[in-house]
C-alpha cells in the first residue's frame, strides 16, 4: 500500500481521476493508527483477563474457607450449619472427600 501511495504522490499523472490521493493517504495513516490501537487493546484485554483470573482465585479461596468453616461447624453441632455444608459439599469436596454420583 505504501509503495503504491508513494508512486501516486511522485507521479500524479498515473493516478486515475476517481482516486483521491490525499484521502488515500489519510486512510493509510488511519489504518496504521488502528493497528497500533488494536495492539494496545489486546494488551489491556490480557491484563484484564489476568486480573479476572486472580479475582476468581481469591473468591474461590474465600468461599472454600467458608465451606470448611461450615463443615467444622456442622461437625461441632452448630445449628443450621449441616444443610449449608451438605449443599456446598458437592462443589468443594474433592479427592477422598468427594463421592462419585452414579448416573
Indicate the domain borders of the chain: 2-97
Closest CA to 24 of 10, 6, 38, 42: 6
94 versus 15: which is more confidently predicted?
Answer: 15
The helix (H) or strand (E) run that includes residue 92 is: helix 81-92
Closest CA to 61 of 50, 69, 51: 69
Give the mean model confidence (pLDDT) for residues 60-80. 94
Distance CA 59, CA 27 (A): 46
Distance CA 62, CA 66 (A): 6
pTM of the full structure: 0.60
Distance CA 77, CA 95 (A): 25
Amino acid at each position: 500500500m505504501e509503495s503504491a501511495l508513494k508512486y501516486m504522490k511522485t507521479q500524479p499523472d498515473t493516478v486515475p481521476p476517481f482516486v483521491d490521493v490525499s484521502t488515500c493517504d489519510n486512510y493509510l495513516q488511519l489504518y496504521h493508527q488502528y493497528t497500533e490501537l488494536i495492539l494496545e487493546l489486546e494488551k489491556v484485554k490480557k491484563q484484564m483477563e489476568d486480573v479476572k483470573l486472580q479475582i476468581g482465585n481469591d473468591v474461590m479461596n474465600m468461599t472454600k474457607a467458608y465451606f470448611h468453616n461450615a463443615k467444622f461447624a456442622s461437625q461441632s453441632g452448630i445449628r443450621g450449619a449441616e444443610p449449608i455444608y451438605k449443599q456446598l459439599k458437592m462443589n468443594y469436596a474433592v479427592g477422598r472427600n468427594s463421592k462419585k454420583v452414579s448416573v
